[in-house]
Structure 1
Amino acid sequence: MEADRIPVIVGAGEITERPADPREAHEPAALMAEALRRAAADAGAPDLLAALDSLDIVNSVSWPYGDLPAALAGQLGLRPRRLVYGPVGGESPVRHMHEAANRIARGESEVAAVVGAEATHAVAQAQKQGITLPWTTPDPNWSRTRGRDFLHPLSVRLGVADPVSVYPFYENAVEAFLGQTPAEGQAESAALWSRFSSVAARNPAAWLKREYSPEEIGTPGPANRPIAYPYTKLQVANPMVNQGGAILLTSLARARAAGVPENRLVYLWAGAAAVEPRDYLNRDHYHESHAQNAVLDACGRIAEAEGTEFTTCELYSCFPCVPKMASRRLGLPPGLAPTTTGGLTFFGAPLNNYMTHAAAAMTRALRERPDSAALLYGQGEFVTKHHAVVLASRPPRQWRLPQDYSVQAEADSRRGPVPAFAETAEGDAAIETFTVLHDRDGAPHHGVVILRTGDGRRALGRVPGSDAATIALLKRADRTPIGAPGVLRPAADGLQDWSPA
């Protein structure tokens, strides 16, 4: 493959700021511009920024821009001929990088970048203090796409239409499928998250720079309130950050012409992507993701064909179930911290942009490990969108780019029958999976159970917070309630309440 079509990562830039006065914080477009400048400086070739011909902007949520690409172009003082604002999705930075590499491999681009930023912490502090931020004039018609826009209305009514309330369905289902008691599964999560925090503590760009013990993470309390069972505050993504990140890619020929040292180049070999049905009620089960498995399997085959294995992994870590499932699929050894970044709880979760920071951390790690390969795996929505790429500190033996990276057919071929959903149901119903939602003071508000009815349909049921005995059943440490028989009955407010048989 000709050097002018070989894509390489040459620079990674990050910025994390936490000023006492939110008016001193930079708006997201300014954070993005600074991250791009730092990426070019990291490459040792600041002039590459002026040559940028393709720029993908990761979807940003914390500030309501009317035209974010224009705001960023104004901050940079340049406008690449291809300037694209991406859709929502935690996997999107990985996809943007993969597509940028494909464009370079096709000869359509020579210098490309992926950038994103959020300033959620500054916005929240300003709102709390009644401060008007001196940023780009907000768009009064701006709105945020959320799960309640495309999930079943009953999910919305029951409060299980946000990631923090949906991922527990997978967490609890995975524990039961593995034969773990809830106590065993939660201990594994706490230990894993402690290892993530240890990595974040050593990452200069992290938001929380200290190591947390498994006991601190797994024990509910005033500073670590329960949110959605089994998750406590220290087990969920933390979006209250001001962070920006950027990745700069060029062709190998352009990198050499710019004087980038060979030992600072990172190669994107290839990757894979697939999705689950967008509404999680339309999936066959909750103890695994067929799309995740297909993506990870495909990347494993790439490494195997190259005669190597992953010495480093970044497994998306919005909630523990994601890297737990992925680690098992990859056959990673227990006790490994599958991150170079620190995870979305401790490094910080700049909403859709975490994986840009992960790519930056991975780039630094690979520069220190000659002849090594790494897996960069991102996920979006509700265990829905999956994209991974194989990065390496050496070129591949077999060139695969440009690449059609979809493994959707493989994922779909593994999917089993999906039960019909019953909006209203009465009578016998057993728990398929579940969670318990908590108030801000840590008290159980209500439980939500995904059920299988006597005739095999799927249904949703509520466990009122006032039903202390059933809430206690759902939260037992020694035995999962999954599979427990019970009864669905209509409630006065039109919902359906579940109680054990």
Structure 2
Amino acid sequence: MPTTLQPDRIPVIAGIGEIADHPKDIAQGLEPLALLEAAVQRADDDSAASLLPQIDSLDVVNFLSWRYHAPAEQLATRLGIAPPHCFYGPVGGESPIRFIHEAALRIARGDAQVAVVCGAEAQSTATKAARAKLDLPWTPFAHDAPEPKRGAAFQQPIAATLGVARPITVYPLYEAATAAHWGQTPRQALNESGVLWSRYAAEAARNPNAWIKRAFAPNEITTPSPENRLIAWPYTKLMVANPSVNLGAAVLLTSLAKAREAGIPEDKLIYIHGGASAEEPRDYLARDQFVQSHAQNAVLETIKAMVGGNGRAFDAIELYSCFPVVPKMARRTLGLGDDVEPTVTGGLTFFGAPLNTYMTHAACAMVRRLRDRAKLGLLYGQGGFVTKHHALIVSRTLPQEALSQDVSVQAKADAAYGSVPRFATEASGDGTVETFTLIYDGRGEVQHGVVMLRIADGARAMARVPAQDQATLAFLTNMDRSPVGTRGPIATAADGVLEWRAAG
């Protein structure tokens, strides 16, 4: 049935642009603003419509490799535009998808005609320059510009004390809990991660913009070695996001009417069919459990319902990939099997992790895939500590209904929540392992273990396992039996931190 929608209210992605900067000389490396400018220009070039002067909506994804005053306004000045909507976003890996969705909604309301979402990082160059004590000829670092609040700012003090207030040490808590919940041995869970991650690597090897362009076998990814050290059990270096990259990307949106007026071929246009968003509490210790994310479930179940209840309706998908547990949970919620092809981009390990803006690159890769051969795509982004979730359906077919302005499915996520246990900082007697991880130093040596416990009155506590307690560490890392659900005695160390050991 032909659509009755007005073409001036149908948002389309009309252009994409990416840049990967590999300077031979550190001092020649491009700063984030330069990467942003180049990416936006490339997106305009891709549209072949010279829409750049008409941009009236500009969203810049938060970046952390360099600090500026008013970066979105500085970019607008570089581009020679003064958009009424000019926004620099907060931290969050889901934010590119949210900004693309919001830009599409502005076009659908008639509040904007040409919109750009863009992001960039130059962490590789910034890190190398710092190590070499080299002053970069960039826009002066804005030391007095406010720093964004990040995950650790929202956590219990004991989380920082024990080193589990960073993504790399928090996601393993979900990894251990979900594997036990799904009835997997740690070995089976690790094997699933290796196979899944090898698929991301294979796609990165085909992506000309990827930072690491080579395929990896599953056992290369999961087996510790001097080059692939353990970081937080069970994750090795090749299983975590790689932020040491110089990458920029931009997505240009307009209305179908303006695209036609500009002469853009319709087979280049990608349509936004809908999306959903929800969040978990910022403090991960204030969640009811760690075997699933109610916000992720609400978002992906809603998305699945939009395509007839079958996750296999998508012939191109991007499942956010900061750590393996995220796409492992997502593919189960979507009803996808272990044969899932989880990416069109290459993943945050192999394509690279320009921190908050990976999904801008994923959107570019998805547009290329849809222009080439796919029909229906899913972009799923996530931010924080399994905290913020946003998904978007994109297609090369014209939608039959107006883009819904109702995006949040927070009520559905909140309704699924069980009771949240009280968090205890003092405990004695026995504690039952809810989940756990081990934290390693730069040489791959154990610093200590961390166990999340449920104690006698149902409260939740967090305890340390000292590096000297080899028996308990061996118990926790047994590959053939999960320690989740086992009991052991709790004691209080001289520094006031709870400690736990395996019984017997």
State TM-score, norm by structure 2: 0.97
1:355-366 aligned at under 5 Å gives the runs: 355-366=359-370
Q: 8 Å contact 2:58–2:72 — kept in the other structure?
A: no
What CA deviation, in whole Å up to 9, does each residue of 1:130-186 have, x standing for no partner? Answer: 110000111122434322211111101110000000000001111101111101100
What CA deviation, in whole Å up to 9, does each residue of 1:257-316 have, x standing for no partner? Answer: 111101011000110000011100011111110100010011111111899811111000
Q: What is the aligned counterpart of 1:271 among 269, 275, 285?
A: 275
Q: Who is 1:115 aligned against?
A: 118
1:247-262 aligned at under 5 Å gives the runs: 247-262=251-266
1:12-31 aligned at under 5 Å gives the runs: 12-31=16-35
- Work out whether 1:206 is the aligned partner of 2:218: no
CA displacement at 1:340 relative to structure 2: 0.2
- Work out whether 1:215 is the aligned partner of 2:206: no
Q: Who is 1:293 aligned against?
A: 297
- Work out whether 1:92 is the aligned partner of 2:95: yes
What CA deviation, in whole Å up to 9, does each residue of 1:177-218 have, x standing for no partner? Answer: 111110110011011101100000000110000001111101
Distance 2:404 2:51 in 1: 23
Distance 1:107 1:475 in 2: 56
Q: Bigger shift: 1-10 or 297-306?
A: 297-306
Q: 8 Å contact 1:295–1:388 — kept in the other structure?
A: yes
Give the direction of change, closer, same or farther, for the CA distance of 1:402–1:180 in structure 2 (3 Å limit).
Answer: closer
Q: Who is 1:54 aligned against?
A: 57
Q: Who is 1:391 aligned against?
A: 394
Q: What is the aligned counterpart of 1:42 among 41, 46, 58?
A: 46
CA displacement at 1:71 relative to structure 2: 2.5
Q: What is the aligned counterpart of 2:230 among 216, 226, 249?
A: 226
Q: Who is 2:500 aligned against?
A: 498
Distance 1:331 1:305 in 2: 9
Q: What is the aligned counterpart of 2:443 among 441, 444, 468?
A: 441
Q: 8 Å contact 2:299–2:389 — kept in the other structure?
A: yes
Distance 2:315 2:336 in 1: 10
Q: Who is 1:471 aligned against?
A: 473
Letter aligned with residue 192 of structure 2: E
Distance 1:149 1:178 in 2: 31
Letter aligned with residue 68 of structure 1: P
Identity %: 54
Q: Who is 2:329 aligned against?
A: 325
Question: What do you get for the CA RMSD once the two structures are aligned?
Answer: 1.3
Matched position secondary structure for 1:403: coil
Q: Who is 1:172 aligned against?
A: 176
Q: What is the aligned counterpart of 2:106 among 103, 127, 133?
A: 103
Distance 1:105 1:187 in 2: 45
Letter aligned with residue 235 of structure 2: Y
Q: Who is 1:368 aligned against?
A: 372
Size of the aligned set, in residue pairs, is 498
What CA deviation, in whole Å up to 9, does each residue of 1:69-98 have, x standing for no partner? Answer: 232123223232211111110000000011
Q: Who is 1:302 aligned against?
A: 306
Matched position secondary structure for 1:50: helix
Letter aligned with residue 426 of structure 2: T
Q: 8 Å contact 1:101–1:402 — kept in the other structure?
A: no
Matched position secondary structure for 1:187: helix
CA displacement at 1:500 relative to structure 2: 1.6
Distance 2:246 2:103 in 1: 26
Q: 8 Å contact 1:420–1:457 — kept in the other structure?
A: yes
Unmatched tracts of structure 1, length 5 or more: none
Distance 1:337 1:22 in 2: 36
- Work out whether 1:134 is the aligned partner of 2:115: no
State TM-score, norm by structure 1: 0.98
Distance 2:391 2:465 in 1: 38
Q: Who is 1:162 aligned against?
A: 166
Letter aligned with residue 384 of structure 1: T
- Work out whether 1:314 is the aligned partner of 2:318: yes
Distance 1:408 1:149 in 2: 23
Q: Who is 1:419 aligned against?
A: 421
CA displacement at 1:454 relative to structure 2: 1.3
CA displacement at 1:423 relative to structure 2: 1.5
CA displacement at 1:336 relative to structure 2: 2.2
Distance 2:395 2:101 in 1: 14
Q: 8 Å contact 2:424–2:460 — kept in the other structure?
A: yes
- Work out whether 1:281 is the aligned partner of 2:279: no
Q: 8 Å contact 1:485–1:500 — kept in the other structure?
A: yes
Q: Who is 1:75 aligned against?
A: 78
Distance 2:409 2:258 in 1: 31
Q: 8 Å contact 2:304–2:311 — kept in the other structure?
A: no
Letter aligned with residue 57 of structure 1: V
Matched position secondary structure for 2:54: coil
Q: Bigger shift: 70-79 or 252-261?
A: 70-79
CA displacement at 1:498 relative to structure 2: 0.6
Matched position secondary structure for 1:154: helix
Matched position secondary structure for 2:368: helix
Unmatched tracts of structure 2, length 5 or more: none
Q: 8 Å contact 2:53–2:80 — kept in the other structure?
A: no
Q: Who is 1:153 aligned against?
A: 157
Q: Who is 1:461 aligned against?
A: 463
Distance 1:306 1:155 in 2: 39
Q: Who is 2:405 aligned against?
A: 403
Letter aligned with residue 276 of structure 1: E
